A and B are shown apart, each in its own frame.
Chain A
């Protein structure tokens, strides 16, 4: 079991506080959704938990060990990361892009070991890309590209997966398909932490909702307990009607 935990994270940049005293132990084998308005510090928290940003103070522990003690590749084999911005510099084939998810295992897209090839095939299949796998990535639609990046993240077969807005640019059907993929991943023991902007979807799929605002975690817990009109008001500054644990109506 891989445990990832952020402890008392502070981060300031040019005298502006981005994260202040954030502690987030990810529940192993569960889906955690970070929600909060733009600029709440969600992406910075994710990057910090991946070991890509160093906190000003506080620490990130991976299996009780400070994350910066691990080499880049060791860390990448334990934590998969899907950033928010996903440029593709060259029109490489879909399969090669997904195969980059095996980089931490020393895989090269043009000659994958049987184990690497199997992980890549599985990720391509799971993300519904089998028919597209030999297409050049610059011929794909935004939604298809989004699934390529997701498949790339899944191909690493890391026990922890951190994704920043994996649903952006996806239509409703594919949003649900992607969320099902995360659900399957956690059902198999994976630990996922995802930033979402769609609160209804977050409430529907998350085991744990983490409400963030202005660099702080205001509340966290299962959706049944934390999805309340009070939290919607304090975190998002909107009036929400909630019944049966579902968002019914939003107004300013």
Chain B
């Protein structure tokens, strides 16, 4: 209990440090004093603009995206009882990106600010519902991950089709940006569209947390000790769908955060899925805030996209976890 408190506390401190550093560093380096002034709305007005309109919204977007993905990953892993489950691997992100891209393709994104978040969430919910349906019929996690691969490929194929038919280069580049995943140029307004969905999703996941511990025993014994399986599945699917969809509306597809953070957190919380949720969210947020700072200060020719970096680091980690999991399987 106290150990969890220290873990969460340390992660909160890291997150705050990350947000502050994100305001400090960038193309124009601000001093600690001018960041403080900017935050409080004092001193030179341009500092307030840099902090409030450029750097802080971007950093918060990274934090929120990482948190949503970290918690969704942890919850899906608990529900499916497999450390490889994650929105990206299971095709949830791909489906969500596909729906978001459709909205951009038909020009609806500029008509109403809510169109994109709603489409992204609808896509995520469709994919999680498909997976959940399959999960309860097969019970085999391998089948489930293969279905996820199938959903990813199908969404990918559809994406290619849409890119193929892109009406003009601007729409094309807009859509490509979604597939890459980035938090650059996010405003506080973008945040207000996605944040409510993400928070709602995370709240549902937190409500479901005790049931995730019960599922450690397998579905049959979990039902035996008094878990309402239908309610549990519904909560996790809807929660993960809302949180992932919201994060994708905000930042596009950023893979593997949902797999690495719970994996890193688990040993610190006695491998209890319910206690993994909150620290995974915090760690996911911290990870993306620092990754985004790194991207901004790296002197690259074109700015690196956050989703690209996450995939470059995440995919090998995924393979490593899969190999480890094979050896240490407790089934």
**Residues of A that sit less than 8 Å from B by CB:** 47, 50, 52, 72-73, 75-77, 80-83, 85-93, 96-97, 100-101, 103-104, 106, 108-111, 136-138, 149, 152, 156
Knowing that A76-B224, A110-B275 touch, tell me 13 more A-B residue pairs with CB under 8 angstroms: A52-B223, A72-B228, A75-B226, A87-B330, A89-B330, A92-B272, A96-B272, A100-B217, A100-B225, A103-B226, A109-B272, A111-B1, A152-B225
Interface residues of B in 131-188 (CB under 8 A from A): none
Answer yes or no: B71 CB below 8 A from chain A CBs.
no
Q: Is the CB of A108 within 8 A of B210?
A: yes
What are 19 inter-chain pairs, A to B, with CB distance below 8 A?
A: A52-B220, A73-B226, A76-B226, A83-B221, A86-B221, A89-B218, A90-B81, A91-B271, A96-B272, A97-B217, A100-B216, A100-B225, A103-B225, A106-B210, A109-B270, A110-B4, A110-B270, A137-B330, A138-B330
Q: Is the CB of B216 within 8 A of A103?
A: no
Answer yes or no: B34 CB below 8 A from chain A CBs.
no
Interface residues of B in 1-37 (CB under 8 A from A): 1, 4
What are the residues of chain B within 8 A of A82 when measuring CB–CB? 221, 224
What are the residues of chain A within 8 A of B271 when measuring CB–CB? 90-92, 136
Cβ of B328 to closest chain A Cβ, rounded Å: 7
Q: Is the CB of B1 within 8 A of A89?
A: no
Interface flags, B217-254, vs A, CB<8A=1, else 0: 11011011111100000000000000000000000000
Q: Is the CB of B272 within 8 A of A83?
A: no
Q: Which 3 A-B pairs have the closest CB atoms?
A: A76-B226, A81-B224, A89-B81
Main secondary structure of the interface of A (DSSP, over half): mixed
Alpha-carbon distance between A102 and B270 when the two chains are bound, in angstroms: 18
What are the residues of chain A within 8 A of B270 when measuring CB–CB? 92-93, 96, 109-110
What are the residues of chain A within 8 A of B224 when measuring CB–CB? 50, 52, 76, 80-83
Answer yes or no: B120 CB below 8 A from chain A CBs.
no
> CB-nearest residue of chain B relative to A145?
B330
What are the residues of chain B within 8 A of A104 when measuring CB–CB? 225-226
Alpha-carbon distance between A149 and B330 when the two chains are bound, in angstroms: 14
Alpha-carbon distance between A93 and B66 when the two chains are bound, in angstroms: 29
Known: A72-B223, A83-B221, A110-B270. A88 touches B216 (CB 8 A): yes
Known: A88-B216, A89-B330. A110 touches B272 (CB 8 A): yes
Alpha-carbon distance between A80 and B224 when the two chains are bound, in angstroms: 7
Answer yes or no: B214 CB below 8 A from chain A CBs.
yes
Q: Is the CB of B272 within 8 A of A90?
A: yes
Instruction: Give the interface centre of B1, B214, B221 by most chain A CB atoms within 10 Å.
Output: B221
Answer yes or no: B112 CB below 8 A from chain A CBs.
no
Alpha-carbon distance between A96 and B271 when the two chains are bound, in angstroms: 10
Interface residues of B in 101-120 (CB under 8 A from A): none
Answer yes or no: B266 CB below 8 A from chain A CBs.
yes
What are the residues of chain A within 8 A of B220 when measuring CB–CB? 47, 52, 83, 85
Cβ of A106 to closest chain B Cβ, rounded Å: 8
Q: Is the CB of B227 within 8 A of A72?
A: yes
Q: Is the CB of B227 within 8 A of A103?
A: yes
- The residue that A152 contacts in the complex, of B4, B81, B217, B266, with Cβ under 8 A, is B217
What are the residues of chain B within 8 A of A110 when measuring CB–CB? 1, 4, 270, 272, 275
Cβ of A119 to closest chain B Cβ, rounded Å: 13
> CB-nearest residue of chain B relative to A79?
B224
Q: Is the CB of A87 within 8 A of B226?
A: no
Alpha-carbon distance between A72 and B218 when the two chains are bound, in angstroms: 16
Q: Is the CB of B210 within 8 A of A86?
A: no
Alpha-carbon distance between A137 and B270 when the two chains are bound, in angstroms: 11
What are the residues of chain B within 8 A of A96 when measuring CB–CB? 270, 272
Alpha-carbon distance between A71 and B285 when the two chains are bound, in angstroms: 38
Interface flags, B274-291, vs A, CB<8A=1, else 0: 110000000000000000
- The residue that A72 contacts in the complex, of B1, B216, B226, B331, with Cβ under 8 A, is B226
> CB-nearest residue of chain A relative to B211?
A103
